[in-house]
Amino acid sequence: MKQNGFEYTLLHQDRHTGARLGRLTTPRGVIELPTFMPVGTCGTVKGLTFDQVAKVGSQICLGNTYHLALRPGVEVVEALGGLHRFIGWDKPILTDSGGFQLFSLAKLTKIRESGATFQSHIDGRALELSPERSVEIQEKLGSDIAMVLDHVIGLPAERAAVQDACERSIRWARRSQEAHTLTSQIQFAIVQGGLDAELRRWCARELVELDFPGYAVGGLSVGEEPEEMYRIISATTPELPADRPRYLMGVGRPQDLLEAVARGIDMFDCVMPTRNGRNANAFTDSGQLNLRNQCHQLDPEPVQEDVVTDWSHLSRSYLRHLFIAGEMLGPILLSLHNIAYYQRLMRLAREAIANDCFVDFYRERMAGWGESSRF
């Protein structure tokens, strides 16, 4: 894929799995794949500065059409020079279209073929979001990668409802593509189809016919069992072109990232690192730590060796003290640790793929997390 300064290059595929080492070149920088995108939904990765987010290895971050359109308003962001300048981040940005928020946040959402009508979860205002309006907002925000508006439904659901949403997502993808005019931005389509493998494969083939620069797998991590998610990823990725980046939306746990990488996924986003960090949960190679627990009161060890931040020398005991004392520094430091941990995980995964030893890396991590190996 090569388009207007954007280029995806598949550098190597692991000999034993579907894991891919790739590179997405953009006008604002190179993204080494697989990669994790910290979530800056409202223009901020909660509790952190973007300098901190970049310093721990983040190459791209995510913003959200729905939230930014409500606050501060797309006109404000546009007047201040676009999203990059507004938030002080000069690397690539991907903006989600708002489809998931229509499913998860908005009150009294009604989906019609023209688009969605809903009440704002902030003040109850009546609003509309169509594929064309989502494209317009994302172009005004000036993101580097824009997602098409899709119809997300909850799971489990009747097959007829899943098929209806899947078919509508394809029609909306076509409309989004036709409305797109910003040459400094590329669009990714989103594969829907619930937990129906055949619908997923069909949806993927239909979207591939539209020839998007990249493809996402959406509508997962909404309460289904991990095995079901892995099954759907395994069914979907073979239908996606090898010369385009693949993005699994809203996922997830470190285990899920490695399982998805093994199945050919390149890009991830999730609020889990910062959400867990705010709640005293740290990710490590031995599993999650709850730093509120009494066992850490006299613990002199750092949270995780080899996860480098400006404060990685600080002890678990001190971090526990911050949370017990209600100090705001605790959530900030642990959120940054978790982002750094995810970026380290992706860096080590890239190295393992390059050396055809991803299975060994995967098994070592899974054993540390107490998880069964599937490869």
Show the tokens assigned to 259: 């399982």
DSSP E strands in the chain: the ranges are 2-3, 6-13, 20-26, 29-33, 35-38, 61-64, 93-96, 107-112, 115-119, 126-129, 145-147, 186-191, 214-217, 246-248, 267-270, 281-284, 287-290
| Catalytic hit among 14, 96, 144, 256 | 96
In angstroms, rounded to a whole number, what is the distance separating the alpha carbons of residues 82 and 235?
A: 38
In angstroms, rounded to a whole number, what is the distance separating the alpha carbons of residues 143 and 45?
A: 16
In angstroms, rounded to a whole number, what is the distance separating the alpha carbons of residues 203 and 319?
A: 47
How many CA atoms does the CB half-sphere of 47 hold within 13 Å? 21
**Annotation marks residue 164 as catalytic:** no
Crossing angle of helices 358-369 and 254-262, rounded to 10°: 160
Pairing of strands 93-96, 61-64: parallel
In angstroms, rounded to a whole number, what is the distance separating the alpha carbons of residues 311 and 314?
A: 6
User: Greatest CA separation found in the chain?
Assistant: 61
**Annotation marks residue 96 as catalytic:** yes
Stated as kind and residue range, the H or E segment containing 293 is none
Strand partners, 32: 23
| Catalytic hit among 90, 211, 269, 306 | 269
Q: Which residues are part of the catalytic machinery?
A: 96, 269
